[in-house]
Amino acid sequence: MNNRERVLAAVAHQEPDRTPRDFWAEPPTLNHLLAYFGYSNEEQVLRHFDVDIRHLDAVSPPERQVGNGVYQNFWGERYIYEQTQWGPYRQDIPGALADAKSLADLEAFPWPTPDCCDYSLLAEQCRQHEQYALMYGFADVWQRPALVRGWEGMFLDMAGQPDWVHYICRKFTDFYREDYTRAAEITKGRVDLYLLISDLGSQNGPLMSLAMFREFVAPYFGEMIDLIHNLDARVMVHSCGSVRMYIPDLIKLGVDILDPIQPTGPVMSPERLKAEFGDQLAFHGGIDMQQLLPHGSPEQVQQQVRRYCDILGEGGGYILAPAHLFQPDVPPENIVAMYEAG
């Protein structure tokens, strides 16, 4: 199999020649790996690890500084940069609408449209990565709105001012519907997987009730999932945390792949997820980013990787990846061990 065939087989619950693999890393981690290997660009790292997926995205407008050390992107997310040995690391803070006092304040915000993005490089990127599975985008229809509104404000709005939540989520959903449509047109349908993001779980359980999920998240997820399927592609939903409670609803909405299957307890174990949902969902990720990858030995990493590949990959349905982007505190030796074991 080539790289693309391997990924598509796994997503279709057919057992490939080996477990397909993906790579996500924070910029400082990538810088560390480049220095470790003596490479000059990310593509060299991906080829070293024989990664099967390439990530594409349109070029967004540049961030701007809005305060002392505070930056804002085109959506109104705000953040600071924590300095690490291998470069700056983003830390989010309440966004541009955290102090909104009325729906009129939300309406007055300069909401972006896809016209602000540059799609001109996508076709050439497809040609460069013809043998690989291609994943596009970063569509977020609930969590990113919450970052712009501020987490506290978003949760209070869900309880007391639901029209505010729907207004913001509608803005994001309409943007990404058009964004994904343009990407599919420019790449002539070559994109295999589209990403849909919203963190719905905490370390110990869901962030909201099923009723609130069904009111504030599911309708927008459903619109995006239907669009992606109409583009003849598969949907990978990303949600950190313990999200077992939502999985039956995600399956009904049409999700094809669940990421990152963060190992937060027994209900998120690979054995249980495969037994309960393995015939309906493919899985992506799972290799613990909180304890194992930063603090474990290479041997321990390899043992865990083999467990996930054997259990989740039986009969297909698994893509090897970390349970979050590789963080700056992960030693390169453990990243090497992860892919060697896979």
Q: Is the pLDDT of residue 51 over 90?
A: yes
Tokens matching residue 251: 């399956």
Residue range 230-281, pLDDT digits in tens: 999 999 999 999 999 999 999 999 999 999 999 999 999 999 999 999 999 9
Domains: count for the chain: 1
Name the nearest CA neighbour of 309 among 300, 318, 298.
318
* The one-letter amino acid at 106: L
% residues pLDDT > 70 (the chain) = 100
DSSP 8-state class, residue 109: S
pLDDT at 72: 98
Q: For residue range 17-29, list pLDDT tens digits in order.
A: 999 999 999 999 9
For the segment 303-327, the average pLDDT, to the nearest whole number, is 97
Average pLDDT over residues 90-118: 97
The residues, any chain, with a CB within 8 Å of residue 42's CB and separated by 6 or more, are: 30, 34
For residue 322, the enclosing domain spans 3-341
For residue 217, pLDDT over 90 is answered with yes
Average pLDDT in the 320-338 region? 97
Q: Hey, what's the torsion of the CAs at 101, 103, 105, 111, to 10 degrees?
A: 140
**Within a 13 Å sphere around the CA of 204, how many CA atoms are in the beta-carbon half?**
0
What CATH number has the domain bearing residue 28? Answer: 3.20.20.210
| Residue 107: count of CB within 10 angstroms of its CB | 11
What is the rounded average pLDDT of the residues 150-170? 97
Q: Is the pLDDT of residue 70 over 90?
A: yes
pLDDT band for position 342 (50/70/90)? Answer: confident
Q: What is the DSSP string of 304-333?
A: HHHHHHHHHTTTS-EEB-BSSSBPTTS-HH
Q: How far apart are CA 252 and CA 45, in angstroms?
A: 37
Q: Which residues contact 204 (CB under 8 A, 6 or more apart)?
A: 242, 264, 265
With 90 as the cut, is the pLDDT of residue 196 above it?
Answer: yes
pLDDT for 123-142, tens place per residue?
Answer: 999 999 999 999 999 999 99
Q: What is the mean pLDDT of residues 305-323?
A: 98
**Helix residue spans in the chain (DSSP H):** 3-11, 27-37, 42-48, 103-108, 122-128, 143-149, 151-160, 162-186, 210-216, 218-230, 247-253, 270-277, 292-295, 298-312, 332-341
Whole-number average pLDDT of the chain: 97
- The pLDDT value recorded for residue 314 is 96
> What gap in Å lies between CA 17 and CA 174, rounded to an integer?
39
pLDDT of residue 281: 98
